[in-house]
C-alpha cells in the first residue's frame, strides 16, 4: 500500500494584471507538495481570490497534514477519511478549499507515477473543449466593457460572460444591450450577478435583460438560498447557472432535486478537489443537467477534456477570465498545461496536473 510520507503547503500571492475590484489586486494560492512512500512527488494547490487564504494555509498545516501522514494515498479513500475528520470545522468552505490542496497533490502524484496527464489518467473524452471569454468587469465603464467584448471577438470566442448587478437595473440593461450589439446575434451571451440580487430584484432584472437572448443567468441570488432559487426557476425562462459557491455533493443534490438550476458550475478547489468534482459531475449527468467547470481553466479545462459525453446534454465549457490564467500571470514554474486559442481549449504534453507554482 502506498501511503503519504510527507505533505506541506505555502502561501503565494499572485498579482492580477486586471484587478477584479479596487481591493482585489491579487489572488491567494496555497501551493501544496506531497511525497508518497514510494518516492513519487505531487504538486497541487488551494485557491481563494480574496478571503481566507491564511485560514486555509493554517487549516492545511494544523489539521489536514498531520491527519494525512501515513494514510493510504488512494485519492478517494484519503478524501473521504480526511473530510470526515475535518467536518467538525464545517462541511464546506475553508475545510473543502483546504482539502483540495491535498487531493490535487495526490492526484498529481498518481498521474505522474503513471506517466500521464490528469486528462489521460482519468480517461480522455475529447481532444478540445469550447472556451468562453469571461471577465470580472462590473466596475468597468461602458466603453471599457465594450472594448473587452471586442477583444473577445478578436480572440475567436463565440460565447462570452459579463457581470451584472448595478444598483439601477437600467444601467445593467444599457450594458448588456451594448455587449449584445457588439457580439451580434450569433454569439452566446451569459450574465453573472454574483449573488447580488434578492428574489424580487432578480425577477425584475431578468425580465428586463432576457430581451438580449441570454444563454444563462449565473448566481442571481445568495448561493445558499435554495428556496429562492427554486421559486426564481419557476418564474423565469432564462436557465439558471449555479454552483461555484456550493461546496458539497449534498448541496448540489439539494439544488438539482429541487429543479433550482439548469446548469451546474462546480469549482474544483471549492468542492475539495478532483475526487468530489468527479462525483458531482456524475450526479449532474444522472439529473441530465449540463456541467461547466468554474474558473481555473489550467485545471478545470483538463477535467472538461475527461468528462464523459452525456447524450443530449451540452459538453462542458471552459471559462477563460481575461488576463487571469496562472500561466499568463507568471505564477507557474513550468509552461501552462493548456492553451486557449480561437475559442477552444486544448492541452499540451505534460504529466500530472502540470501545475507547479513559483
Please report the DSSP string for 110-137 in residue order: HHHHHT-BHHHHH----S-EEEEEE---
Which phi and psi (to 5°) does residue 159 adopt? -150, 140
Catalytic residue among 59, 121, 294, 350: 294
Catalytic residue among 59, 163, 292, 350: 163
- Each residue of 182-194: b (16+ CB within 10 Å) or e? bbeeebbbbbbbb
Nearest in space to 137 (alpha carbons), one of 102, 155, 161, 157: 161
**Cβ atoms 86, 64 nearer than 8 A:** yes
Sheet strands (E) in 270-356: 290-291, 318-321, 338-341, 344-347
**CA 64, CA 59: separation in Å to the nearest integer?**
6
Q: Is 250 a residue of the active site?
A: no
The residues pairing with 41 across neighbouring beta strands, listed in sequence order, are: 35
Torsion of CA 236, 237, 238, 243, to 10 degrees: 70
Q: Is 294 a residue of the active site?
A: yes
**CA 99, CA 97: separation in Å to the nearest integer?**
6
- Residue 28's H or E segment, with its range, is strand 26-36
Q: Which residues are catalytic?
A: 163, 294
Amino acid at each position: 500500500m502506498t501511503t503519504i510520507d510527507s505533505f506541506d503547503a505555502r502561501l503565494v500571492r499572485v498579482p492580477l494584471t486586471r484587478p477584479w475590484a479596487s481591493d482585489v489586486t491579487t489572488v491567494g494560492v496555497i501551493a501544496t507538495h506531497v511525497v508518497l512512500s514510494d518516492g513519487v512527488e505531487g504538486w497541487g494547490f488551494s485557491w481563494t481570490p480574496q478571503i481566507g487564504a491564511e485560514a486555509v494555509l493554517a487549516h492545511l498545516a494544523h489539521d489536514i497534514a498531520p491527519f494525512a501522514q501515513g494514510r493510504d494515498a488512494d485519492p478517494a479513500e484519503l478524501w473521504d477519511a480526511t473530510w470526515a475528520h475535518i467536518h467538525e470545522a464545517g462541511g464546506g468552505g475553508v475545510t473543502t478549499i483546504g482539502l483540495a490542496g491535498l487531493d490535487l497533490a495526490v492526484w498529481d502524484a498518481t498521474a505522474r507515477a503513471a506517466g500521464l496527464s490528469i486528462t489521460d489518467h482519468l480517461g480522455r473524452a475529447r481532444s478540445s473543449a469550447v472556451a468562453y471569454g469571461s471577465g470580472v468587469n462590473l466596475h468597468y465603464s461602458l466603453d471599457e466593457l465594450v472594448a473587452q467584448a471586442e477583444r473577445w471577438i478578436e480572440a475567436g470566442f463565440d460565447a462570452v460572460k459579463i457581470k451584472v448587478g448595478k444598483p439601477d437595473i437600467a444601467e445593467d440593461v444599457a450594458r448588456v444591450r451594448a455587449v449584445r450589439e457588439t457580439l451580434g446575434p450569433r454569439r452566446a451571451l451569459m450574465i453573472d450577478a454574483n449573488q447580488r440580487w434578492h428574489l424580487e430584484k432578480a425577477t425584475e432584472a431578468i425580465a428586463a435583460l432576457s430581451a438580449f437572448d441570454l444563454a444563462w443567468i449565473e448566481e442571481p441570488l445568495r448561493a445558499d438560498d435554495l428556496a429562492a432559487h427554486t421559486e426564481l426557476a419557476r418564474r423565469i425562462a432564462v436557465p439558471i447557472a449555479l454552483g461555484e459557491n456550493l461546496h458539497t455533493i449534498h448541496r448540489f443534490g439539494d439544488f438539482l432535486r429541487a429543479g433550482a438550476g439548469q446548469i451546474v458550475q462546480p469549482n474544483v478547489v471549492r468542492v475539495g478537489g478532483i475526487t468530489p468534482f468527479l462525483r458531482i459531475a456524475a450526479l449532474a449527468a444522472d439529473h441530465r443537467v449540463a456541467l461547466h467547470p468554474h474558473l481555473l481553466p489550467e485545471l478545470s479545462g483538463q477535467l472538461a477534456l475527461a468528462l464523459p459525453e452525456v447524450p443530449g446534454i451540452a459538453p462542458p465549457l471552459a471559462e477563460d477570465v481575461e488576463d487571469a490564467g496562472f500561466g499568463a500571470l507568471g505564477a507557474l514554474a513550468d509552461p501552462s498545461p493548456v492553451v486557449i486559442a480561437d475559442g477552444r481549449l486544448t492541452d499540451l504534453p505534460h504529466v500530472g496536473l502540470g501545475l507547479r507554482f513559483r
